Amino acid sequence: MIKTERMSVGEAIVRFLDNQYVSFDGEVNKLVEGVFTIFGHGCVLGIGEALSMGEHSLKVYQGKNEQGMAHVAIAYAKQNNRRKIMPCVSSIGPGAANMVTAAGTATANNIPLLLFVGDTFASRQPDPVLQQIEQLYNPTITTNDAFKAVTRYFDRITRPETVMSCMLNAIRVLLDPAHTGAVAIALPQDVQGECYDFPEEFFKKRVTKIVRRTPTTEELQGLANEIKNSKKPLVIVGGGVRYSEAGKSVAKFCEKHNIPFCETQAGKSAVRSSHSLNLGGIGVTGNSAANYIAGESDLIFAIGTRFTDFTTASKSLYADKQVITLNASDFHASKLDAIKAIGDAKAGLIALDALLDAYKSEYTSEILQAKADWEMEMQRLTNIDVEEDYKPEIDTYMHDAVSNYIAQHGGAMAQTKAIGVIRECIPEDSIVVGSAGSLPGDLQRMWTSESKDSYNMEYGYSCMGYEIAGCLGSKIACPDKEVYAMVGDGSYLMLHSEMVTAVQEGIKMNVLLFDNSSFGCINNLQMEQGVDSLCTEMRYRDGDKPIREGKFLNIDYAMCARGYGFVTYTVRNEDELRAALADSLRQSVSTLIDIKVLPKSMTHGYDGWWHVGCSANPRSERGKKAYENKKRMLEKARRY
């Protein structure tokens, strides 16, 4: 006789989650320790009742925006190298739809995110309920069907007994090293409260083992042959290296065989930046060292990367090179017509090393020279003086804009100098979090990471609004470290509501807000492609004139954050920034530093071309040059 226990669907879900564990390299940890929610009809009863009154050990956090709380959960999972998750619970309609963007963020970055979204009634008796969208051609479609495009797994629990297969599948997908991402479970309001005799076995302690799968000998031999036949290979360190915790293995492998390596956004901080073979970031947002050596190499060995257009410079950077890959995912490993090995990064490297014997590359002084050249450029970037050195490269329009910005804001720093000061002043093991705009490019090029897993950059989806929520998630994951959100004013305005959650929970986070009164990265793209500035700068409307002719907005972001309970600072020069950073370290509550930075003072170039949709019928000389350059680059770019 199977022993059963009668309970509601909502309680069954909570009980199940509370008993999930993960085993990795023999270490067992609890998968779920907390839940984020914004209660509304569709979740405040049912699963909400179970969270409020049921027996469980889960800590429940109150989110302020559904997208924001889901971004907290993404950063939390990433900081835990995908072996802990924080489920998010929302109401129906707008509350659920707010998390679609976060689901896309998680899936694009291969980060586990579990979403429980309130739904309409399975019985359909009260239809249309509040916040229900009715489709004339299919009454089973609800707002939640939007999640199908942005999740790895979607399910709708229309009967109580389906909870068991649904949750087991959810855990399977969430802990899949090759294809993890967002999982969305739609919970009809009536079914959440229905009861069923669940087998007690369903609620036992369940340990899911994440196994290091070694590629086949045949696959590894294929990689070994290509490396042995190459003179100057280059390793690309992707996010798979970080999640496999294979950073030391990569360093050891490259040292033994004299192979330089570079980093994607997701792979950065898997190996310390100061390593003699670490060239830094590669691609569109890469630096001169990595991109130069990529051009000089004769073989690309990519470990755990998805080969986004930024990593490949839109397939132009190493288009003529043979590519080999080591990846947990066959799908990603097969890109760029690569010779592939499917398996765990660490296990694969150890096995591959055994096949290479005493192989060493033929690099001599090229690596040191490339790093030295980049170090000289770093010195220039971090020592730019706005008054003496900065000259806008676009035209007189930007010259006037820069002068106006300085006059209206009472001074400003170059963004690159601010980054240099911050890196110098904050603790070495601090975690920096970012996502969108010009900062990810500056940070991939300029930021040095000497502490493992100290760089949490979401750049698979480049989702504006991730930065501050992600900072909170990283801090929850690593409460003993200082965590910094690196955020532009554009992203700050999009979503910063989880700052209130940090205050509410007594969690210290640090927000470094770079205010250049614009969506600076997109303004660069717009103007470099020959388009007149429009709606990418934050300016006042001046009568009937185009908005680009108005004065810059001058917002006191420090005052805004101070109202929430943050300790705040406003800085316009190096001395003020240094003083603010030092004082913020002495604080026990959250801080925000409003850094006034000059438009167009970010990094740029270094031979990383980006394929964008510029007009084939340009209206300006800059536009004509951009289109001609695009045609030239497409001639050399890989087609598949």
User: Which two three-digit tokens encode residue 2?
Assistant: 């199977």
**Superfamily for 382-596?**
Thiamin diphosphate (ThDP)-binding fold, Pyr/PP domains (3.40.50.970)
How many whole angstroms separate alpha carbon 513 and alpha carbon 515?
6
How many whole angstroms separate alpha carbon 178 and alpha carbon 35?
25
Note the CATH architecture for domain 217-372. 3-Layer(aba) Sandwich (3.40)
What is the reported pTM? Answer: 0.96
Q: Label each residue of 52-63 as H, E or C.
A: HHCCCCCEEEEC
How many whole angstroms separate alpha carbon 348 and alpha carbon 219?
10
Is-contact 516 415, C-beta < 8 A?
A: yes
Is-contact 65 91, C-beta < 8 A?
A: no
Is-contact 99 67, C-beta < 8 A?
A: yes
**For residue 394, what pLDDT is reported?**
47
Instruction: Work out the percent of the chain whose per-residue pLDDT is above 70.
Output: 98
Backbone dihedral angles phi then psi of residue 273, each to the nearest 5 degrees = -65, -30
Is-contact 66 184, C-beta < 8 A?
A: no
Of 89, 42, 33, residue with least CA distance to 63:
89
The 10s digit of each residue's pLDDT in 361-375 is 999 999 999 999 999
How many whole angstroms separate alpha carbon 200 and alpha carbon 204?
7
Is-contact 595 418, C-beta < 8 A?
A: yes
Backbone dihedral angles phi then psi of residue 175, each to the nearest 5 degrees = -105, 20
Burial of 633 (0-12, 13-18, 19+ CB in 10 A): middle
How many whole angstroms separate alpha carbon 331 and alpha carbon 127?
42
The 10s digit of each residue's pLDDT in 290-328 is 999 999 999 999 999 999 999 999 999 999 999 999 999
DSSP string, 557-584: HHHHHHHHT-EEEEE-SHHHHHHHHHHH
Is-contact 530 623, C-beta < 8 A?
A: yes
Note the CATH architecture for domain 4-210. 3-Layer(aba) Sandwich (3.40)
How many whole angstroms separate alpha carbon 241 and alpha carbon 452?
12
DSSP string, 162-217: HHHHHHHHHHHHHT-TTT--EEEEEEEHHHHH-EEEEEGGGGS-EEEEE--PPPPH
- Furthest-apart CA atoms within the chain: distance in Å: 84
Burial of 373 (0-12, 13-18, 19+ CB in 10 A): middle
Q: Residues of the chain whose pLDDT is less than 50?
A: 394
Q: Are strands 195-199 and 4-8 parallel, antiparallel or unpaired?
A: antiparallel
User: Which two three-digit tokens encode residue 406?
Assistant: 């300085």
